[in-house]
Structure formats: structure tokens, C-alpha cells
Amino acid sequence: MTKVRTRFAPSPTGYMHIGNLRTALYEYLVAKKDPDGVFILRIEDTDQGRLIEGATDIIYNTLAQCKLFHDEGPDVGGNYGSYVQSERMKSGIYKEYAEKLIDLGGAHYCFCQEEDIQSQRELAEARGESFIFNDPCKNISVEDARARIANGESYVVRQNIPTSGTTSFDDEVYGTITVENSTLDEAVLLKSDGYPTYNFANIIDDHMMEITHVIRGNEYLSSTPKYNLVYKAFGWDIPTYIHCPPVMKDEHHKLSKRNGDASFQDLVAKGYLPEAIINYIALLGWSPETEQEIYTLDELKQAFNVKRIGTSGAIFDIDKLTWMNGMYLRNMDIDTYYDIAKEHITNGVKGNYDHKEIAKILQQRANTLAEIDEMVDFFDTYNSFDSELYTNKKMKSNPEVALPSLKAARDLLASLPNWEETTIHDEMMALVEKLGIKNGQLLYPVRVAITGKQFTPGGAIEISYILGKDETLRRLDLAIQDLEK
């Protein structure tokens, strides 16, 4: 049995779009389903006008952060290099294969100028017809065409498409697809500057690198019949196709890097974990056989099955990703969590507080790392606040309830001989019982009083312990004074 070889072939044109990263993940998972499978990184940089400096490093870094380690590629080598298209082009392989395809009858030289094409386009529009270029250069013999080229005439190479009949192909997701050849355009394969078009370079590189499975977005379904006509002209094996539904912004719009939608780098900057992002995007278009939602990468390798990729677009739900990210954070041991949260805690808390204790309360409440800075700002900054903040129907609290509760809590806390969290907890619970009130009628006002916030990463007891006795009493005194005014 032939071992599986997949390739992720991004263009270095900026940050990693979520749809591209999902393609990389699926390529990786398909390869790793086979114990001998190979996952390849190939850089497709033939569109020189769109290249962005540093974007190749972004590709390397993204795959490394997501632990999608490639077995072959520009940075790790392999037996099928070069793995950079512009370097492959220097060897002349694309021009060589274009010439071979012409000799096999699968392509022809075209000398038409843009105005020739435009006049046909305008005529089709005037007739209300869809435009497909009818290239008169197909009638030029190969010998005559090569003589014109030898005289310095500019040309492109266009694919030959049968004028009748159909072309069919099988896709693992969409099934068998058949198209009328008359609907296919004779696309350019080799441009006048000698560079191959994206589609032609793809075909040549995939064949030479012995790619067995091609995974890509369903926008390439319409191009696939033309790919296959090239494969057949050369007599090459056609790879297994897996076309994936788009990742959608909403019901009507795709996520788009060009429209400024979130990239992997944007999400990481907003405090999302690479492993949570990978877990989430695996489920964008693929449904596992069980109700399980949280997967490690190793678990995804075992569970992934291309037969369960859907055909409908999957909407990118930031709330679902946020929930999933929170689950990842809460499932960490405290030391791991502290290591990744430390920078954010340090940014938000400059005072002399126990940062690891702060991490403990954050872990259960922060869903992203970027939330941390704002969640902990009350440690350093304590401002006066509107007394209506004490009003909370659920807690049965209001300013009138809060004042006696704060006074009682202040006296109790001042009397404590040691400042331990368990001691604070036990004594505060005893005070609730003694006063004959609900927990929330004591703890909610105390939490508001010592933080100046309605929502905090921890409760009154935890925050009091971290603030320390002196600071807690100072803040309670100020809050009581404000209520007594």
C-alpha cells in the first residue's frame, strides 16, 4: 500500500488565516492516520506581487506553535526538494513540463494580446453569455509557434480543453462530480514572464513530490476537472481529493484575510491558546462520532475521519472558541497556568501581592489570557465608586443592606489573629449565621467594597486574603465612610 503523503502549500502573503490553518491541520491529520504518513510543507511564492517580507517565518512559527510538525520542507529538507516554488522554477521544471504538455496535445502556445481577449469578453457580455475565451492560437502548429517564439515573440501557454463531452472526478467529501467540458476555460498554465500559474505549479509539484491526498477549500472544486485533464494528458496518477467547506463569518460571508477577519496571530494576541484554536478549528466542518468536544492533537489523530467532513460552510463562533479556551486554561495544573499567565498578571499588578495566589483565582474565571490585565487592575488602583454597585437582586443586596454588613465584616476581620484564607472563610461564614442573613448579603458587599467592581476574578474571601489585612481594612474603612456620607 502506498504511504500517504500530504502537503500544506501556503503562499507567504501575511498572517495565517484560520481557513488556511484548518487546511494545514486536516493535511497533518490525514498524513498521521497512516503510521508511515508524511506531512510536507511547500512554500508557493510564484505570485511575486503578493509576497510579504517575513511571512514565510510566520508560516514556520505558526505550524511550530500548533505542533503541526512537518516531515519535509524548506527548513527541514527531504528527498523531493526544493520545497520553495520560486527555487524550483529556477531549474526550469515548469517550462519543461509545459513544453511536454504541448507535445502531448494537452496545451498550446498563445500569442493573443489583452485587447484580443477583451474584445471577445465584450462581445459575450453584449450577447448575455458567460465568457470563455476562444483562443485562435489553437490553430497554430507547434512548429510555427516555436518559430515565432525563437524570433522573440511574447507568449503564454494555455491548456487545451475538449470542446465536447464531460470530465468527472471523485471527491471524498462531495462525491462524484461531473462537468461539461464546454463550460471549462482554457486557462493560462505558463505566464509571459515564465512563471507558472498557481494551478499548473500545483499539479507539477504534487506529482513530483508524490502527493497522494490533496486537501483544500471547496472553491477549488471548479478547477479540479482542469487539473485532472493535465494529469491524464501526462498519464499520471490522480491524487485523492478532499475538498473542505468554507469557514464562514456568518451565514452569508466567508472569513477572509483580505477583509481583516481574525488570523491565528490575532487570536493568540487576544489570549487564545494555540492548542485550543487547533481543537476548535478541527470541529469547523468536521463532526466526530461522539459528543466529545475537547481533543488533544493526539486524540484528533485517532478520531479524525474525512468521511465526517460536511459539505456546508461552518460558522466561526468566537464565543464557542472562548468557552473552549477557558476549558483548556482550567484543565491545566496551577504551575503550567501560572507560567503562561505570569506576564499578564505582572502587567496588571505592580504591587507587592502574591502573583501565584492571583493566578489561582484567575484560572477558574478568565477564559482568555488577554482578559487578565483588566480583571486584576483593582489590586493596584482603588477608586471611589457609585454606591448603586451594592445593588444586586440575586444577592439580595443594596446600599442599606451593605452598610451594616461591611461594618460587621470590618470588625471581624480586624480581630483575626492570623490572616489565612481558611480562617477568613470560616469566620465570615460564622458571621453570616450570627447575623441571620444570606451569604451574598455579606460577601457581595465586601467584594464590591474592596475592589470597586461588580465582577471580579475571585470572591470576597480570596481577594481579602491576597490583598492582606491592612489593605483590606483600609478599603473597607473608605467604603464605609462613603456609604455613611
Is 257 flagged in the annotation as binding? yes
Measured distance CA(294)–CA(370) in Å, rounded = 21
Measured distance CA(275)–CA(240) in Å, rounded = 28
Measured distance CA(410)–CA(92) in Å, rounded = 82
Measured distance CA(307)–CA(304) in Å, rounded = 9
Task: Give a three-class secondary structure readout of 182-248.
Answer: HHCCCCEEECCCCCECHHHHHHHHHHHCCCCEEEEEHHHCCCHHHHHHHHHHHCCCCCEEEEECCEE
Question: Does the annotation count 257 as an active-site position?
Answer: yes
- The grid cell for 111 is 500569442
Which pairs count as long-range contacts for 427-434, CB under 8 Å and 24+ apart, including other chains?
Answer: 428/460, 428/461
Q: Which helix (H) or strand (E) holds 175?
A: strand 175-180
Tell which residue, 404, 336, 46, has the closest CA to residue 191.
46
Q: Which of 33, 95, 138, 257 is catalytic?
A: 257
CA distances from 186 to 108, 110, 162, 202 (A): 10, 11, 9, 17
CA angle 359-362-364, nearest 5°?
120
End-to-end CA distance of the chain: 84
* Catalytic positions: 257
Q: Binding site for ATP, residues?
A: 257
For the annotated binding site, the residues are 257
